[in-house]
Structure 1
């Protein structure tokens, strides 16, 4: 038995979403998180791609690269 799959919220495909900087915390002035789209992709050798981003969608609560991942996440059904 493996890990349960991550279910993406259907609300990500509707409404108006705008990228914002990830808010600063006490420990990090410029925080980053792993991009939700890039982290699902794999390179030519089958390894996961790790791309850090300073932007996120506050409605979906997911970090995303501004180009092209933000648009992909909010328009493509099966990522």
Structure 2
């Protein structure tokens, strides 16, 4: 379980490094998005037959980082649209 949390944090941090621009996300949001990305990467790697969901492999790791980048982009768009709505009022 601790390894899964550390992997999620590393994947989230890598995703933030890969994604250009400044992200307004805290460490907890980075961890959660990294964890979700790592589960997505594990599921896709499992479907491709390269390993189990919670098994660390190259394909799963790459897909996890890509999924985390997409999740960070989605989280940014949600937070920026909420921030804009607050400023309009």
TM-score, with normalisation over the residues of structure 1?
Answer: 0.26
Higher strand share: 1
The structure whose Rg is larger is: 2
